[in-house]
Structure 1
Amino acid sequence: MELTLTTPALLFPAISLLLLAYTNRFLALASLIRNLKNQYSENQNPNLLGQISNIRKRILQVRNMQACGIMGFLICVLSMWLLYNNQQRIAEYAFGLSLMLLMISLLISFRETQISVEALEIELSDLEESILENKKEK
């Protein structure tokens, strides 16, 4: 397979959208953390501790997937530069490494989504407990 300058360039729109999605996840988590902090300071609900633990895991996942995505993007640019300087073999390895980093980033994103679902399950169980308690009181 011959790697041309346009092949790595095809990843630019995808990587940009991917990093934008990761940034949106980060901003959503930051907002959620601020809300949970306010909720915990108001009522000291012990169920919030499970949410906080879950968010801590998610923040680490978002950091890691952003890091892998950024490194993949950087190495993709490096492969283009190497192609421009007629270093075909090194450029091919660099491009392969950038693809590998992007795959790792996507796998971490998948795991973060699973952790996010666990957080929603914690929230639903808290809601179910509240509903059952309200029914018992009536």
Structure 2
Amino acid sequence: MEITLTTPALLFPAISLLLLAYTNRFMALANLIRSLKQRYATTQSQLIYGQIENLRIRLVLIRNMQAFGISSIFGCVFCMFILFAGYTTAGKYLFGISLILLMVSLALALRETQISVNALRLELDDLEEKENTGDKSIL
């Protein structure tokens, strides 16, 4: 396989967009945590506490998603430097490592999305339970 200086550069737009999406998820989560913290302080609801615990796990995943994404882009830049220096074989391996780091980041993003969906399902289950018991205070 032929690898040139421009090959790792092809990943820059994709990784940059991924990091932007991860940052947006982080900011949304931070706002949600602040909001839930205030709600929990007034209601002491176990459902809200459970959501906060869920968000704690998601924060760790997002931090790791960002770390692996940043490591991937760093690897691509370093790969370009290595290729520029004329070390083609080392550049190939470094580019492969960068791709693996990107795949780990994407796998963590998938896991975080699954946890997010489960949290929403719990919220919907609680809503349905209250609807079935006749508790109209939530509506």
Q: TM-score range by the shorter chain?
A: over 0.9
Q: What stretches of structure 1 move > 6 A for 4+ residues in a row?
A: none
Indicate the residue corresponding to 1:101 in structure 2: 101
Match of 1:110 in 2: 110
Mapped partners of 1:16, 1:28: distance in 2: 18
Number of residue pairs aligned between Structure 1 and Structure 2: 137
Greater shift, 126-135 or 37-46, is seen at: 126-135
In structure 2, the partner of 1:128 is 128
Q: Match of 2:20?
A: 20
TM-score, reference length from structure 2: 0.94
- In the other structure, the counterpart of 2:67 is 67
- Measured in 2, the distance between the counterparts of 1:135 and 1:48 equals 18
Unaligned runs of 5+ in 2: none
Q: Distance in 1 between matches of 2:15 and 2:101?
A: 11
Mean alpha-carbon deviation: is it higher for 19-28 or for 48-57? 48-57
User: What is residue 54 of structure 1 aligned with on the other side?
Assistant: 54
Q: Percent identity?
A: 57
User: Using the alignment, how far apart are the partners of 2:21 and 2:86 within structure 1?
Assistant: 34
In structure 2, how many angstroms separate the alpha carbons of the residues matched to 1:131 and 1:121? 15
Q: Give the Cα–Cα distance (whole angstroms) in 2 for the partners of residues 58 and 123 of structure 1.
A: 16
User: Residue 38 of structure 1: CA displacement?
Assistant: 1.0
